[in-house]
Structure formats: structure tokens, C-alpha cells
Amino acid sequence: MSFLRSSGVLLHPTSFPGRFGIGDLGLEAYRFVDFLVNSRQQLWQILPLGPTGYGNSPYMSFSAIGGNPLLISPELLKDDGLLTDEDFHNLPEFSATRVDFGQVERVKMPLFRLACDRFKTQASPIRRTEFEGFCESKAYWLEDHALFMALKDAHDDLPWNTWEPPIAQRQTAALQEWREKLQGEIFFQKYLQFAFFQQWAALKSYANLRGIEIIGDIPIYVAHNSADVWAHPENFCLDPETGEPTLMAGVPPDYFSNTGQLWGNPVYNWEHLQQSNFKWWVQRFQSMLDYVDLIRIDHFRGFQAFWAIPQGEETALNGTWIEAPGAAFFRTLQQTLGRLPIMAEDLGVMTPEVEELRDEFNFPGMRILHFAFGSDIENPFLPFNYPRNCVVYTGTHDNDTTVGWFNQLSDYEKGVVMRYVGRTSSENISWELIRLALSSVANQAIIPLQDVLELGNEARMNFPGTIEKNWEWRYESGMLSEQRSGQLRTMTEVYGRAPISRE
């Protein structure tokens, strides 16, 4: 579907300020929503919200549906009477600008266990009923998720396919045995999801009531070591003996890497998925629309054809394109959901077939201004080449900030950019690209918060193809100033992206 003219900001919740070392769903999240409202934005785009493991990437989650417990606000749990100020004594000195995920987990998880214990003994009848209702309504994914996370902890975080064969293969007797053995831990995992979704629902309601829609991000692939692959191995291309992927996901050489990107996720057994009428995928979209308003599909081209790399390869060079039944899937999804509030991440190696799939369902694609200045006037990322039904970004979470990007350009390339924006000074280059995005014909414009704040390379969120030091950036309290809000508000109004007043 196409969308009305609007704009918004890209920011993952881990980047909020806060006293617990990581952004969470507490007060600073609400302050950010207020900043969006005051700036006359209508969209807030986030990254995937799932629980992360090694590397801390939200695109390699232990669950395709579950929430990340590290985003739970201890202060909101205190407001619920489950934690006290005394519980927060002796907090370590966290960095205000980077997330140390290991340190955060060591501090937050004991607090959550304490809150869970108190919930068991002190929760009101209403809260208990809410918890039971949550567990019942989400049982189709929550039961497997809670058991998987409990089993993972019981097996020292080793991958599921290295567990004892009876439980790795989900034999009925083994499942029953481990459920009884891990009752307490399973309850804790369910409680974490309950607390996360309660806090997220309240924040989403606050945003929606103020005219802010949330764009969620759905990675096309899930991590091999995840509840989804363990619980539904038939959906993936796995070796029946070892449980390892027989074919791994990735992309061929591109803008980011000369050897491509080897992600390592198992690719889908699309034949089986189609035979099941895409049940797992449909449930995934339905679940996501419970807690976001719009969905950006990461690596959309994988629904038309995907790059499959044989197990044992160390780079993505020796892969093969395999067709996927994307059109059949989206028709099935449309029959279930009606309108499809979907945006397509259509970057990288595109073909006429991928574009045809995108356009058949009227999904807006993406345009990135950082990619606009490296070739000729036919470059599809130049604003005068945009269709209306697209989403323009200055850059994404995989790009440098605009200041960082510009600073590493050659003098010639800087000159090309400056001539295009009609300036002789690069002093406000971040805002010049924001102006280009907001003034374009693209129906939607999304600006990373780092660009609104005019931050440099130190605020980059991710370096594709690397593992360390990603996903750590946080902004400091006080950066969301009235001056920044006023700049964004004025430009949003000038270029016709502000919400229409109902007064």
C-alpha cells in the first residue's frame, strides 16, 4: 500500500538515555515520543525488538516474535511495586554514550528475577489474570520460546543442536521431562515477556494517541540458534543428522563488502512453508502487527529469490540464487490481513522480478541519499528520480551518519554533493541532506536521530560484516533540545509533511 506524505525518525530503543546502561521503555522513551510530537513527526522507526545473543545484533535474535528483556524498565517495575529504590543501590557507573551489553545483563537480570519472585507472591488478582491471559493468548509462540530460553541457560548457552539428541529433536518424553525440571525458569521467561509486552503496549498506546505510528522491522531470516528453528526445523534447510544449516543466508558482493555477506542463518524450506499455507510466516506478521503499526521487511528481495551458500563456505562468494514463492505468500497474507502495511527494503542486487513483486503489492521501496552521488544523473537515489511511492532516508542503521559519511568522501565527491545542495560550505551538511529528503516527492521520509543531532562517525550504529562494537550507540540526556525540535518542525512544515490539524 502507498502512504500519505509524512516523515519520522529512526531510533532503536537501546539508544535512549537512562541509568541502567541501556535505553529501555521507561521515561526517556516517552520523552522521545514527545520530541517527535513537538517536531510534528508522524513516524517512529525502530529495529527488531527480539532478544539478542552473541554480537548483540537485533537481526540475529533468539526469537522471531519475543521481546528483548533488556528493554524492560526497572523503574516501571518499581512503579508496579515489584522493585524498590533500595534494589537500585550500588549500580555501577555505566557509560552514557555506549551500551556494554554484558554489564547491562549482569545488572538487570538479577533485578528482573527479584521482580518475578515478588510478582509470584504479591501480584494483585487483576495482574495475575492479565498474566494468565497473556500466556494463553501467546501460547502458540510463548511456550516454545520460554522452554527454549530455559534450556539454553541449562546448557550453558550452547546451540540447541549440541544438546542431548532427545531434547534437541524435541522428543515428547524429553520435552515433558525438561518442562517439569525447569518449571521455575520457564515461569521467569514467561514473566519477562509479559513485562516487556505490558511496557511496550503502554508506550505504543502513548505514541498512537499522539499521532505517532511505529514502523517495526522484520528480518527475513531468523538465527539458527533460536526458538523458531528448534521448534520448527521443518521450515528450514537443515541437516537432519546434525541440525546444522545445509544452506546459509547472505548476499553476494555489494556496496558493503567485496566478498559479500555471509550471515549464517539457515534459509527457508519454502516448499514446506507453501504446503502449510505459509502458517508460520502469517503468524509472524500477525504477531508483529500486535505491537507495531507498519512493517519494514528487511532484505525484501529474498522473497523473490535468495542467495544460498553451502555449509562450510567461509565467505558469500560461492552462493546460488534460488527462487522463492513471494507472490503466493503475499497473496495469502493479503487474504488474512486485508491491507498490507508493508515497506520493502529493496537495496542491493535488484532485478526486474524483485521490482515486479514489490510493485504488484504496491509496497514502497527505499531510497538512500548517501548512495545518490557516486554515478550519473540516472542514479535512482537522486531525488529527481524518485517515485512518490517510496521511503527516503538520509542513511540507515547500516550506514555511517551523514557527517561521518561526508567527512570520508574525496574532495571531488564532496564537491559533487555541495553543488547538488547548492552550498559552498559543508558546515550544516547533515541538515542539507535532511532538507533533500523532506523536500523530495517520496511519500515518506525517515531521518536517523544521529543526523538530526549532527553527530559524526562515533554515533554510527552498525558496520555490516563486522561483529564487535555494533548496536552500542546512545544519545545523552538533554540532546533532544527545543532548538533541534524547532529545526525539524520548521522543515517538516515547509515541505508539507506535518500532520494536518483537526482543529
CA distance 356 to 233: 31
Q: With contact defined as beta carbons under 8 Å apart, do 94 and 70 qualify?
A: no
| Sheet with strand 6-10: strands edge to edge | 342-344, 294-298, 213-219, 43-45, 6-10, 444-448, 390-393, 365-368
| Torsion angle defined by CA atoms of residues 50, 473, 10 and 503, in that order, rounded to the nearest 10 degrees | 110
Element holding 297 (H helix, E strand): strand 294-298
Return all residues near 373 (Cβ < 8 A) that are at least 6 apart. 379, 382, 413, 416, 417, 420
Element holding 431 (H helix, E strand): helix 429-439
- Active-site choice (28, 144, 298, 432): 298
CA distance 450 to 471: 13
- Active-site choice (345, 346, 432, 454): 345
The type of residue at 173 is: A
CA distance 345 to 358: 10
Question: Residues for the chain: how many in total?
Answer: 503
Q: Please report the DSSP string for 80-122 in residue order.
A: TTSS-GGGGTT-----SSB--HHHHHHHHHHHHHHHHHHHHHH
Active site residue 254: no
CA distance 220 to 270: 13
Q: With contact defined as beta carbons under 8 Å apart, do 52 and 61 qualify?
A: yes
- Active-site choice (398, 400, 432, 454): 398
Q: Is the dihedral of CA 267, 272, 275, 277 positive or negative?
A: negative
CA distance 370 to 400: 9
Active site residue 482: no
Element holding 355 (H helix, E strand): helix 352-360
Round to the nearest angstrom and report the end-to-end CA distance of the chain: 28
Q: Which DSSP category does 236 fall into?
A: B
Q: With contact defined as beta carbons under 8 Å apart, do 47 and 397 qualify?
A: yes
Angle at 495 (CA atoms; ends 393, 407), nearest 5 degrees: 40
Cβ neighbour number for residue 76 with a 10 Å cutoff: 20
Active site residue 313: no
CA distance 330 to 100: 39
* Residues marked as catalytic: 298, 345, 398
